[in-house]
Amino acid sequence: MNKGILERVDLLLIIVTLAVIVSGLIAIFSATYTSETDYFSKQLIFAIAGIVMMIFISYIPPRHIAKASYILYFISIVLLILVLFFGKKISGSKSWFSIGSFGIQPSEFAKIATVLALANFLSRSEEGFRNINRLPDFLKACAIVLIPVALIMRQPDMGTSLVFVSMILPVLFWVGLSPFALFCILSPVIAVIGAFLGINYFIGSLVLIGIILLMFKKNIFLSAGALVLNIIIGYSVDILYNKLMPYQQARIKAVFNPETDPLGSGYNVIQSKVAIGSGGLTGKGFLQGTQTQLKFIPEQWTDFIYCMIGEEFGFIGSVTILILYMIIILKLVSNANITKNYFLSAACIGFASIILFHLVINVGMTIGIMPVIGIPLPMMSYGISSLISFLVMIGIGMSAYRYRNQY
């Protein structure tokens, strides 16, 4: 009997997810302890609703999900267009529909729909994955992701568009894109970072890219072409950088040296580092964080929730949370591996990479090693749309486990 349940239900994934949600609720409770708005109850209600939804979704057979994927994708695109016209502007971005006292962010649901549509496109039932190394299919796959990205950039919401882009590489890697093509996608990122750090770093990164390209032993013209592309992209960093909004420029600058602007864009970074660092090994205790309770970090129940864990629960608490996330991500990857259903396999990789990207950027910014990009910590930051959408992703991940023997 017990064995039967374990065969059908991904118990580990459920337990770890619940642990993350409970930690999130504790963090929100503490972070909003002196606040006039009751964020905690709202989040609690939607967490319960989201968990019910997650379990429900885990029962849906994969073929139904696959069938619905293009329709969901189409609806998401329509909503993303509508939000540009009828959306509510909150802190500079037109990304919300307000329904009563709640805000709904269509971009959160577009994440799921885009992953599903991409997975559906890439999988062909029993035969396996589509051959992504054929250029037309490669371009189509990219288009599925880049259409919502273009719309979200219009809001403008940099952070969320990056989330979409972040899933391309892992998913394409999973379905069999050749290492050379993968490197061609990845290398501009290296070139851009190099270019940003200065001319010496830029030349260094180009040399590195060149050597790796040679190691692939591909057609010399192709390799040279890829290198030239990198040089052009590297040079255009300056131009692109100047096109960014001043606040975005300031945020990137503040990553490298937060002390340059302690009351401006570097403020959050310094304060969150101080909050986390002052937690020490075991933390100051629940509701005892002076940084948290004195509201030193603005709106920390949203993007900076991890500070509160760091300050009140210390190194032990912070590392525990990271490990919980890693279990979720690795469990999703492992489900992607064991399932015979190629559609859900690709989808799980998409979800895992989205959660990983959120984690890396969000925790990275609070501990001062990533730029301040406003994306939430999955299932812990206050935010109803985001909470529900992550729980739906995990629900689909659980379905991959339950139906792992179905093509």
Partner 1 sequence: MDLDKKKYVIFVICLSILAVFIIRLAYLQLFTSDELTKESDRNSIKTITVTPPRGIMYDRNGNILVDNKPSYTVTITPNQFDKNILEEISTVLELSADSLAMTLKNIKGTNRFNPAKVKRDVDFRVISFIAENRDRLNGVDYQVEAIRYYPNNFRGSHSFGYCNEISPKQLEKQIGDYYKQGDMIGANGLESNYENHLRGVKGYQFITVDVKGREIGSLNEGKSDIPPVNGTDLILGMDRDLQELAEKLIYGKQGAIIAVDPRNGEILCFVSKPDFDLSAFSGKTDSKIFSNLLTDPQKPLFNRVIQTKYPPGSTWKMMMSLAALEAGIITTTSTISCPGSFVFGNRSFADHGSYGSINVVRALEVSANVFYYKLGLQVGIDNYHKYSKMFGFGTKTGIDIPNETSGLLPSREYFDKRYGENKWTQGLLVSLGIGQGELGVSPVQMVAYTAAIAMNGLYCQPHFVSKIRNSMNNEEEIVKYEQRRIDLPLKYYEAVRKGMFLVVNGNGTAARIKSDEIVLSGKTGTAQNSSGKNHSWFVGFAPFDDPRIAICVLGEFEGWGSSFGAPTAAALMLNYLGVSVNETGEEIKSVGDYD
Is the CB of 368 or the CB of 371 nearer to partner 1? 368
Write out the binding residues for partner 1, residues 47-76 only, by CB under 8 A: none
- CA nearest neighbour of 308 among 390, 363, 252, 378: 363
* Cα–Cα separations (whole angstroms), residue 21 to 44, 281, 345: 9, 23, 25
Q: How far apart are CA 140 and CA 137, in angstroms?
A: 5
Which of 9, 216, 364, 406: binder of partner 1 (CB under 8 A)?
364
Minimum separation from the CB atom of position 37 to partner 1 (A) = 9
Q: Fill in the per-residue mask, 286 to 305: x = in contact with partner 1 (CB under 8 A), - = not in contact.
A: ----xx--xxx---------
Is the CB of 97 or the CB of 267 nearer to partner 1? 267
Residue pair 346/175 in contact (Cβ under 8 Å)? The answer is yes
Which of 133, 236, 249, 278: binder of partner 1 (CB under 8 A)?
278
Q: Which amino acid is at 108?
A: E
Residue pair 301/41 in contact (Cβ under 8 Å)? The answer is no
Q: Does 319 bind partner 1 (CB under 8 A)?
A: yes
Judged by CB under 8 A, how many residues of this single chain contact partner 1?
Answer: 48
Q: Does 263 bind partner 1 (CB under 8 A)?
A: yes
Minimum separation from the CB atom of position 355 to partner 1 (A) = 10
Is the CB of 78 or the CB of 319 nearer to partner 1? 319
Q: How far apart are CA 131 and CA 146, in angstroms?
A: 20
Q: Does 318 bind partner 1 (CB under 8 A)?
A: yes
97 forms beta bridges with 104
Single out the segment in contact with partner 1 by CB under 8 A; choices: 28-36, 94-102, 144-152, 213-221: 28-36
Is the CB of 231 or the CB of 326 nearer to partner 1? 326
Q: Where are the alpha helices (DSSP H) in 87-134?
A: 106-122
Q: How far apart are CA 325 and CA 327, in angstroms?
A: 5
Residue pair 233/188 in contact (Cβ under 8 Å)? The answer is yes
What is the DSSP code (8-state) at residue 32?
T
Backbone angles phi, psi at 88, to 5 degrees: -100, 135
Q: Which amino acid is at 37?
A: T
392: alpha, beta or left, given left = phi > 0 and alpha = psi -120 to 50?
alpha
Is the CB of 329 or the CB of 384 nearer to partner 1? 329
Write out the binding residues for partner 1, residues 131-170 only, by CB under 8 A: 170
- CA nearest neighbour of 396 among 59, 51, 15: 59
Write out the binding residues for partner 1, residues 325-354 only, by CB under 8 A: 326, 329-330, 333-334, 336-337, 345, 349, 352
Q: Does 174 bind partner 1 (CB under 8 A)?
A: yes
Q: Does 277 bind partner 1 (CB under 8 A)?
A: yes
Query: Can you give the binding site for partner 1, defined by CB under 8 A?
Result: 34-36, 170, 173-174, 176, 263, 271, 273-281, 290-291, 294-296, 310-311, 314-315, 318-319, 322-323, 326, 329-330, 333-334, 336-337, 345, 349, 352, 356, 360, 363-364, 367-369
